[in-house]
Structures are given as structure tokens and as C-alpha cells.
Amino acid sequence: MTLRLKACARCGNATNQKILGNISAGEAALRLHLSSLPVHACAKGHHAPVHGEFMLWLLRELRGTQLPSIPAGEAKGMLFKKYHCACGAELPAQPAGKSSRGFDMAFPEAPAFRMEIETPLYKCPGCGKEQARSAKELAGAVPGAIVSLNDAAGFPHSG
């Protein structure tokens, strides 16, 4: 993948690579905090991802690599979901705290940036393990967090 400096999608001016400061986005189930995010920017201050596939790549990286490393319970029940630890105990309704996991990421041929994933933690009353409510719930929150990140970075919407 080669990085191409292209025209701004909003105004047509030439763009240059720039590094954004800190950006936070997401909802209660999953918040993303990014620092040193590489972007394309024009003279008017409009921003765009470094590549057309960047946001899709980020979504895949989160779902495939980063989220599976977060310990999580399992949802049970067809209509009214209850969340259970691997030990079988039901997780409480309210979180006991928050977990923040940070790591470095780099899109091919772009500068590295730092990402932190913040999730609520639920402490199991049976074994004491702190975990997210459900891996499926976390994976389901990724698209919304990516859209929120897109807005926070000032990227144009594609449709």
C-alpha cells in the first residue's frame, strides 16, 4: 500500500501528512483514546485518513487482535440477557471500575500511533475476576466507536 497525498475531499486543496494530538471517541461500552494519529490535512484544516482503507483496517485490528485480549464474560438468556463469568457466577449490573489497555499501532507506510481501549469492568462475585460483560458486546460496540472516532478526527463521511 502506498500513501498518496491527495486533494481534500471537502475543498479540493492539496493535502499534506499531519499528526493529530489526542482524540477520544466511543460510548460507555467501549471508548477509544488515540494519540499521534497520522492524517492528511489541507490548508483549511480539513482532515482525512492517511489511506482510504485506514478506518476499515482499524476496525479489523480492534476486532481481530486487540479485543480478544480483554477478559470477558458471556451473555446468557434469549430475551433478558444476564452476564456470567466463566466460573458460572452472574456478573453484577453495575461496573466496579474501568480498564484501560494501551498499545502502539501502525498502518503500513504510515507513522505509528498510540491507542488505548477503555472498557467498564465487572467484578465476579464468585471468583473475583474483573472482566468486561461480554466479548460479543465489545465487538458490537466497535463500529459505533469507529464512527465516533471518524467524527472526532473531523474526517468526511463517505455517504
Q: What is the pLDDT along the chain (159 residues), one digit of tens a residue?
A: 445 557 888 888 888 889 998 999 998 889 999 999 999 999 998 999 988 899 999 999 999 888 888 999 999 988 899 999 999 999 999 999 999 999 999 999 899 999 999 999 999 999 999 999 999 999 999 999 999 999 999 888 764
Any domain includes 49: yes
The per-residue pLDDT for 22 is 94
Residue 44 cell numbers, joined:
483549511
The pLDDT assigned to 109 comes to: 85
The pLDDT value given to residue 158: 61
- Determine the Cα angle at 71 with ends 65 and 72, to 5°: 105
- E strand or H helix that includes residue 54: helix 54-61
Residue range(s) defining the domain that contains residue 34: 15-153
Q: How far apart are CA 89 and CA 87, in angstroms?
A: 6
Cα-Cα-Cα-Cα torsion 76, 82, 87, 93, nearest 10 degrees, comes to 160
6 within a domain of the structure (yes/no): no
Q: Per the domain annotation, does 159 fall within a domain?
A: no
- How many folded domains does the chain comprise? 1
Q: What is the Rg, in whole angstroms, of the alpha carbon atoms belonging to the chain?
A: 18
In a domain, 88, yes or no: yes
Structural domain contains residue 52 = yes
Q: Is residue 27 part of a domain?
A: yes
Please check whether residue 109 lies inside any domain of the structure. yes
Please report whether residue 7 resides in a domain: no
